[in-house]
Amino acid sequence: MSKKPVRVAVTGAAGQIGYALLFRIASGEMLGKDQPVILQLLEIPDEKAQKALKGVMMELEDCAFPLLAGMEAHSDPMTAFKDTDYALLVGSRPRGPGMERAELLSINGAIFTAQGKALNAVASRNVKVLVVGNPANTNAYIAMKAAPDLKPGNFTAMLRLDHNRAASQLAAKTGKAVSSIKKLAVWGNHSPTMYADYRFATIDGASVKDMINDQAWNKDVFLPTVGKRGAAIIEARGLSSAASAANAAIDHMRDWALGTNGEWVTMGIPSQGWYGIPKDVMFGFPVTCANGEYTVVEGLEIDAFSQECINKTLAELQGEQDGVKHLL
């Protein structure tokens, strides 16, 4: 018997990431090739944006996706999020050249108060929320705080792009297939302070750290490359990453919903005090997923260098949190 359709809300649906994301959700890449979806698409109440959204929906229609069981255009989160099972909060301003993501907080922060409130009022009580719009961790924190009737743990921020970027850099460095890299972790904020940590990573069971054996490369090449990759793409493309961001969003939601078979992935989640990170800070942690739930990989040793990196990204997130107190 075919499965009952699930409702997937996507905001910023007519934007760059939306265009790289929706077709893959509708084709079953996110929730499985046997899972019908109803897309609930939100754009700003602006004639141009709504018209562009209609155009995207025409193209979705023209794909004749067997799993696309319905689609709706919305200009109000209170209708867009009605009964939604999954919410991908993409809609917000991207940064331009020379900006840091945190500078977007004053522009984008308020979007997530309104959307958190709407999710609280009308979404499925088990809605799984992924915040992509930058600064993603703090926007996810704002949305979570605006939705006191939903499970805080169901609000997540996207660190998966950093995770995937780190995996690709390690594959290039070691000359091994990216798929062979296991047990990678990215701690903290989706910003240049994030700490991509390959101390536990393995390739075919062998230690990546021992294989590379070069702390100077870690500190001076690897971490800055991964941390500043978004800016490098803006510099090269004139626009922020879209296809790789959409791909990471698909990876994040697919793994959360369908599981990781014991493999580690990185998700930005509200801390429960793990690794000394204060409760509710929206922080990147290594997790495994099964049965629609994530579980933090606990008990990893944090050496002095790692602790210093973690402290730095935590301090930045706490600074961002302080800066949005007026929105909570």
Ligand X SMILES: O=C([O-])CC(=O)C(=O)O
Q: Work out whether 156 is an interface residue with ligand NAI (CB under 6 A).
A: no
What minimum distance in Å lies between the beta carbon of 12 and ligand X? Answer: 13
Among 8, 9, 17, 226, binds ligand NAI (CB under 6 A): 17
Rounded to an integer, what distance in angstroms lies between the CA atom of residue 315 and that of residue 328?
Answer: 19
What minimum distance in Å lies between the beta carbon of 240 and ligand NAI? Answer: 5
Q: Work out whether 21 is an interface residue with ligand NAI (CB under 6 A).
A: no
Rounded to an integer, what distance in angstroms lies between the CA atom of residue 130 and that of residue 277?
Answer: 20
92 binds, among ligand NAI, ligand X, none (CB under 5 to 8 A by kind): ligand NAI
Q: Is 326 a catalytic residue?
A: no
User: What is the H or E stretch that residue 230 is in?
Assistant: helix 229-237
182 binds, among ligand NAI, ligand X, none (CB under 5 to 8 A by kind): none
Q: Work out whether 230 is an interface residue with ligand X (CB under 6 A).
A: yes
Q: Work out whether 101 is an interface residue with ligand X (CB under 6 A).
A: yes
Active-site position among 74, 163, 190, 252: 190
Q: Work out whether 145 is an interface residue with ligand X (CB under 6 A).
A: no
Strands (E) located in 134-187: 155-157, 181-182, 185-187
Query: What are phi and psi for residue 290, nearest 5 degrees?
Result: -155, 145
42 binds, among ligand NAI, ligand X, none (CB under 5 to 8 A by kind): ligand NAI
CA angle 133, 105, 83 (to 5 degrees): 45
Rounded to an integer, what distance in angstroms lies between the CA atom of residue 130 and that of residue 252?
Answer: 8
233 binds, among ligand NAI, ligand X, none (CB under 5 to 8 A by kind): ligand X
Report how far Cα 190 is from the mean position of its chain's Cα atoms: 9
Rounded to an integer, what distance in angstroms lies between the CA atom of residue 260 and that of residue 267?
Answer: 12
CA angle 11, 12, 14 (to 5 degrees): 125
Rounded to an integer, what distance in angstroms lies between the CA atom of residue 303 and that of residue 218?
Answer: 14
Rounded to an integer, what distance in angstroms lies between the CA atom of residue 127 and that of residue 198?
Answer: 32
Question: Residues annotated as binding site?
Answer: 12-18, 95, 101, 108, 115, 132-134, 165
Question: Residues annotated as binding site for NAD(+)?
Answer: 12-18, 108, 115, 132-134
Q: Which residues does the annotation mark as catalytic?
A: 190
Contacts to ligand NAI by CB under 6 A: 11-12, 14-18, 42-44, 49, 90-95, 111, 132-134, 136, 158, 161, 190, 240-242, 245
Contacts to ligand X by CB under 6 A: 94-95, 101, 134, 161, 230-231, 233-234, 240-241, 245
